[in-house]
Amino acid sequence: MPTRLSVNINKVALIRNARLGNLPDLVQVAKDCERFGAEGITVHPRPDERHIRYSDIPQLKAVNTTEFNIEGNPTEKFMELVQQNQPTQATLVPDSPDVLTSDQGWDTIKHKAFLIDITQQLHAAGVRVSIFVDPVAKYVEGAKAVGADRIEFYTGDYAKQFEADREKAVAPHVQAAKVAREAGLGINAGHDLNLANLRFYQENIEGLLEVSIGHALIADALYFGLSNTIQLYLRQLQ
């Protein structure tokens, strides 16, 4: 199965929120991303709504024609948002409200009872559950134990180490992905993947179902244009 590209549009919302108007139009950008070849749209609303606003979610869901993925810490408000809008997938991320960006995965052992409850609630709403984890076997196994459908590997450390030693950088992901496949978990990945490191990652992670990319893709689009940039990323996944 080919790896799907889900475009995270948080940075588009951040630019919009720098002014009081609706430029760029977030909903139109989401539609255009799909028109240009994106196979999913990802958003990560945060409590301070510094980029994605809660009011954006139903509008984005209404126009989505591929897959819609909502990421976030499963607070009460987040759960209400997901249950009301029923995206294709909810990616559970253990970030605090004031963190700049997600930089670590769940300890699925320590938070097992909590994650079981959250997963059951999301499944009852018909939502696929992915749990954001570091590439560590015990946390992958823990994700399986709580009933998740998929895991999303945090790839920030991979991206940092890539230029110095790509084989060493990807090795923990290769090992953890094997554990995921044996457990019957789907594999997603995201954080700091870009045009330089994406192909190598995809070639080494057997069964990689989805990558969620926002920051680098939107930055590249400033130079190459959004349509061209999405095509460039899709080529890395072929």
| Marked catalytic residue, from 34, 39, 44, 210 | 44
| Marked catalytic residue, from 67, 173, 191, 210 | 191
**Half-sphere exposure at residue 71, Cβ-oriented, CA atoms within 13 angstroms:** 30
Alpha helices (H) along the chain? 10-17, 26-35, 56-63, 76-85, 112-124, 137-145, 156-161, 166-183, 198-204, 215-224, 226-236
Q: Which two tokens stand for residue 134?
A: 């570091």
The residue length of the chain stands at: 238
| Contacts of 48-56 spanning 24+ positions with Cβ under 8 A | 48/97, 49/17, 50/14, 50/17, 51/10, 51/11, 51/13, 51/14, 51/17, 52/9, 52/10, 52/13, 53/13, 53/17, 54/81, 56/13, 56/26, 56/27
Query: How far is the C-alpha of 146 from the C-alpha of 141, rounded, in Å?
Result: 9
Active site residue 44: yes
Q: Please, is 223 exposed, middle or buried when counting C-beta atoms within 10 Å of its C-beta (0-12, 13-18, 19+)?
A: exposed
| Marked catalytic residue, from 39, 71, 152, 210 | 71
Q: Residue 202: CB partners within 8 Å, gap ≥ 6?
A: 3, 208, 211, 236, 237
Provide the annotated active-site residues.
44, 71, 191
